[in-house]
Structure 1
Amino acid sequence: MKFEKTGLENLKADLNRLDEVMSDHGLVREGQWDYDRVTYDRLFDLKEGRYYLRIQGYTVEGDVGAHKAVIQLMDPLLGKHYYPHGVEYGEGEHFPKTLVSQCEKLLSDIKSKIEPFAQQ
Structure 2
Amino acid sequence: MKFEGTGIEQVSADLNKLDFIMESEGFVRADQWDYERVTYDRKYNMVEGTFYLRISGYATEGDVGSKKAHIQLLTPLLGKHYYPHGVEYGEGEDFPKSLIQSSKKTLNQLKEKLEAITAEA
TM-score interval for Structure 1 and Structure 2 normalised by the shorter chain: over 0.9
Match of 2:56 in 1: 56
Q: In the TM superposition, what whole-angstrom CA distance separates every residue of 1:6-45 from its partner, at most 9, and x where no partner exists?
A: 0000010000001001101110000000000000001100
State the Cα distance separating 1:102 from its structure 2 match.
Answer: 0.3
Alignment of 1:1-120 (within 5 A): 1-118=1-118
Tell me, in whole angstroms, the C-alpha distance in 1 between the residues paired with 2:30 and 2:57: 14
Identical counterparts, % of pairs: 60
State the Cα distance separating 1:107 from its structure 2 match.
Answer: 0.4
Q: In the TM superposition, what whole-angstrom CA distance separates every residue of 1:52-77 from its partner, at most 9, and x where no partner exists?
A: 00000000011110101100000000
| TM-score (normalised: structure 1) | 0.97
Letter in 1 for 2:79: G
Tell me, in whole angstroms, the C-alpha distance in 1 between the residues paired with 2:17 and 2:9: 16
Q: Structure 1: any 5+ residue segments left out of the alignment?
A: none
Where has structure 1 moved over 3 Å in runs of 4 or more? none
Tell me, in whole angstroms, the C-alpha distance in 1 between the residues paired with 2:53 and 2:116: 23
1:118 aligned counterpart, secondary structure:
helix
Aligned residues: 120
| TM-score (normalised: structure 2) | 0.96
Letter in 1 for 2:22: M
Tell me, in whole angstroms, the C-alpha distance in 2 between the residues paired with 1:103 and 1:69: 27
State the Cα distance separating 1:46 from its structure 2 match.
Answer: 0.1
Q: CA RMSD in A?
A: 1.1
Tell me, in whole angstroms, the C-alpha distance in 2 between the residues paired with 1:118 and 1:67: 18
